[in-house]
Chains A and B, each alone.
Chain A
Amino acid sequence: ETGVTQSPTHLIKTRGQQVTLRCSSQSGHNTVSWYQQALGQGPQFIFQYYREEENGRGNFPPRFSGLQFPNYSSELNVNALELDDSALYLCASSFMGRAEAFFGQGTRLTVV
Chain B
Amino acid sequence: KQEVTQIPAALSVPEGENLVLNCSFTDSAIYNLQWFRQDPGKGLTSLLLIQSSQREQTSGRLNASLDKSSGRSTLYIAASQPGDSATYLCAVIHNFNKFYFGSGTKLNVKP
Flag if B42 contacts A99 (CB, 8 Å): no
Q: Chain A CB within 10 Å — which of B32, B49, B101 has the most?
A: B101
Find residues 2-46 in chain A having any chain B CB closer than 8 Å to their own CB.
2, 31, 33, 35, 40-45
A101 within 8 Å of B (CB atoms)? yes
A residues in contact with B44, CB < 8 Å = 43, 90, 103
* Nearest CB in chain B: distance from A48 CB, A: 7
Flag if A33 contacts B4 (CB, 8 Å): no
Known A-B contacts A42-B89, A42-B102, A99-B51; the reply to A94 vs B43 at CB < 8 A is: no
B69 within 8 Å of A (CB atoms)? no
A104 within 8 Å of B (CB atoms)? yes
Flag if B99 contacts A101 (CB, 8 Å): yes
Flag if B97 contacts A99 (CB, 8 Å): yes
Contact pick for A45, options B34, B46, B99, CB 8 Å: B99
Flag if B97 contacts A96 (CB, 8 Å): yes
* Nearest CB in chain B: distance from A93 CB, A: 10
Flag if A45 contacts B97 (CB, 8 Å): no
Flag if B99 contacts A35 (CB, 8 Å): yes
Complex alpha-carbon distance, A35 and B93, angstroms: 14
Q: Chain A CB within 10 Å — which of B4, B91, B98 has the most?
A: B98
B residues in contact with A90, CB < 8 Å = 43-44
B103 within 8 Å of A (CB atoms)? yes
Q: Please give me the 3 A-B residue pairs with the lowest Cβ-Cβ distance, nearest first.
A: A42-B101, A105-B43, A99-B31
